[in-house]
Amino acid sequence: MVAAMSPALETMMLAFSGDGELPERALFLGAEAHDGLREWGDLTGWQPFKPKADVWDAAGFSRSDGLPAGRWPVVLVLPGKSKEETLVWFAAARDRLEAGGRLVVAMPNSAGAGRFEKELRKATGGVESLQKHKCRAFSAVDDGTWDESVFAAWRELGGRRVVEGTHFVTEAGVFSCGHVDSGSRLLAGHLPGNLRGSVADLGAGWGVLADTVLRNCGKVERVDLYEADARALDCARENLAEFGGRAGFHWLDVAAGVPGEYDAVVMNPPFHVGQATDVGLGRAFLTSAAGCLRTGGRLFLVANRQLPYEAALDGLGMSWRQLAEDATFKVILADKRR
Ligand SMILES: C[S@@+](CC[C@H](N)C(=O)[O-])C[C@H]1O[C@@H](n2cnc3c(N)ncnc32)[C@H](O)[C@@H]1O
């Protein structure tokens, strides 16, 4: 039994609740588990976000690590957060749809479902749409009249791009894909050059903090990057290729704990889940950081000024001090005493 299911997924399932037969073969981009999917035939999921991929796997569904090649009669899409990412996923879905196949999308209204339905209609001419649970599910059947130039333009939004003024590459949908995050920039400017030994970068994104450590701290033997978004981690692999074996890459849900023992941890923890603010996720990152530091190890973190992480550090028995702040962010250094 799958525990919590998203309202968008519930709405998507309604698009298959009529008298028609359930799909015999389907591909699910942004796959999330649902008990109703157990009755489907051959279903393949792709999910770049590790906590969701873990739930999908635990429910016993089949998953592809990368975007799979092939064509399916039904392609489902539960898009991510950004506009570009959503359009890129529409194009990816189109590229994997058999002639005559059905593309089905579901999104919360608060994520712009109405707007994206209109976008899809630009390419497909018409869509069928239903609304429930403050979400929309909309679908279109490839009848041979779709405007491929619209999909081509969306396809162009995908792939690697260079962050202006840097050597870093990113892609649509990953955190801060167009620039170095200002919080991370503040933290990078306050990381000392005397770090040594092994360092963990928690929620490493496309690798900007790990790059700073590897570049500036010659006595650091290795930085392990832990990141839930497989696409960001792939960008980090490319961004840090010059450091060879000094960089390690791990697709992991940091909130569930981090293996190993480190001399230092650097992080700009996430605090948004979907559209809601969730300080609990940041606190779970602090607990995991404390858990993987050696006694005497140091945690360098940046956070929005209003986030109450100091009390959490106290609760974890870490002594801390603020190293810097600006109008938006604060940089904290915490020591693991025992
Ligand atoms: C604020 S961003 C910082 C990214 C990167 N360190 C930087 O400075 O640009 C937080 C990162 O945590 C990742 N993340 C979110 N939830 C996670 C989880 N449960 N486990 C691991 N990483 C997670 C996000 O994908 C995102 O890349």
Where along the chain do its domains lie? 7-156, 162-336
Are residues 33 and 56 in contact, defined by beta-carbon separation less than 8 angstroms? yes
Residue of minimum CA distance from atom 1 in ligand 1: 270
Token pair for residue 166? 């840097």
- pLDDT tens column, 219-252: 999 999 999 999 999 999 999 999 999 999 999 9
Task: Pick the residue whose CA is nearest to atom 27 on ligand 1.
Answer: 205
Residues with CB under 6 A from ligand 1: 51, 175-176, 181, 184, 203-205, 208-209, 226-229, 232, 253-255, 268, 270
Average pLDDT score over residue span 145-154: 98
Supply the pLDDT for residue 276.
Answer: 54
pLDDT tens by residue, 288-312: 999 999 999 999 999 999 999 999 9
**What value does the mean pLDDT of the chain take?**
95
pTM for this predicted structure:
0.95
Task: Report d(CA 30, CA 49) in Å as an integer.
Answer: 8
Cβ atoms < 10 Å from Cβ of 6: 17
Question: Fold identical between 7-156 and 162-336?
Answer: yes
Report the topology of domain 162-336. Answer: Rossmann fold (3.40.50)
Backbone angles phi, psi at 114, to 5 degrees: -65, -40
User: Which ligand 1 atom is at minimum distance from the Cα of 204?
Assistant: 6
Q: What is the pLDDT of residue 22?
A: 86
pLDDT of res. 18: 78
pLDDT > 80? residue 140: yes
The mean per-residue pLDDT over the stretch 53-57 comes to 97
The hierarchical CATH code for the domain 7-156 is: 3.40.50.150
Q: How far does the centroid of ligand 1 lie from the alpha carbon of residue 132, in Å?
A: 31
